[in-house]
Amino acid sequence: MRVLLTGAAGMLGHDVAAAAERAGHDVAPLSRRDLDIRDAAAVRGAVAAARPDAVINCAAWTDVDGAEAHEAEATALNGEAAGHVAAAAAAAGAFTVQVSTDYVFDGTARTPYLESAPTAPRSAYGRSKLAGELAVARHAPGAHAIVRTAWLFGVHGGNFVATMLRLAGERDALTVVDDQLGCPTFSGHLATALVTIAERRLGGVLHVAGAGECSWYDLAAATFAATGASVELSRGRTADLDRPAPRPAYSVLRSERPETPVLPSWQDGLHAYLELGVTA
């Protein structure tokens, strides 16, 4: 299978390229420097030239708080540009895999969000990603997968676990919020699932996140326990952070579709990440 990968220089993009190559696929990785997916004509040309069987779109605006002040820009990349990718892929007969997020939900549930749950984003970032979902479905009907995931961390980009390790080396005590619940997801595990979805052309919406659930406090505690970091950890509240973008209080994702790839537990993801030599 020939895979065209956008956003190849990002955290997830790096891992998707590696996962596709391990699976024996021919990968055409395009970073933002190689292709600005906001340029519809450039996207059409790149996809036509690559002649892929599948296009995995990892290009995205990921600054959740920044999107509050720059919603139009975030939507241009996460929304309209995702549609450009899907349209070009459909024209080339390729299958589109679009990465989305738990932020398309309002976070008020108390049981896991399934694919059929109604969307109701509360943040500009969530609205921009939902716009991308709708654009992909519109431009590549019957030839796309929308993969929602959550709380992503990986080796090739900034993330919560790396931040906790850095802060543990700088401070004796930390306060971490304990009133958000989600599914931490190791990008290496998600990448393998994205390639599988492309191989099998598993269409429609799929929820793919680390198995189990925990709070950010729990993830920090597990990180410190695994690395032997000596830091006093206290429980905090989201309200005390005063962030521009509202955070979903509950972001647990589960799939109601038996064909959906199942990821290892978030604990296994954390250990896999740390085993790659990540240090504070």
Give the residue numbers annotated as catalytic, written as ranges. Answer: 125
CA atoms within 13 A on the CB side of 145: 30
Q: Where are the alpha helices (DSSP H) in the chain?
A: 11-22, 40-50, 64-69, 71-75, 81-91, 124-139, 160-168, 187-200, 216-227, 266-275
CB-count exposure of residue 276 (10 Å: 0-12, 13-18, 19+): exposed
**How many CB atoms lie under 10 A from the CB of residue 35?**
20
DSSP state of 117: S
CB-count exposure of residue 272 (10 Å: 0-12, 13-18, 19+): middle
CA angle, corner 191, sides to 188 and 196, nearest 5? 135
Give the separation between CA 171 and CA 66, rounded to whole angstroms. 27
CB-count exposure of residue 63 (10 Å: 0-12, 13-18, 19+): middle
Residues in the chain: 280
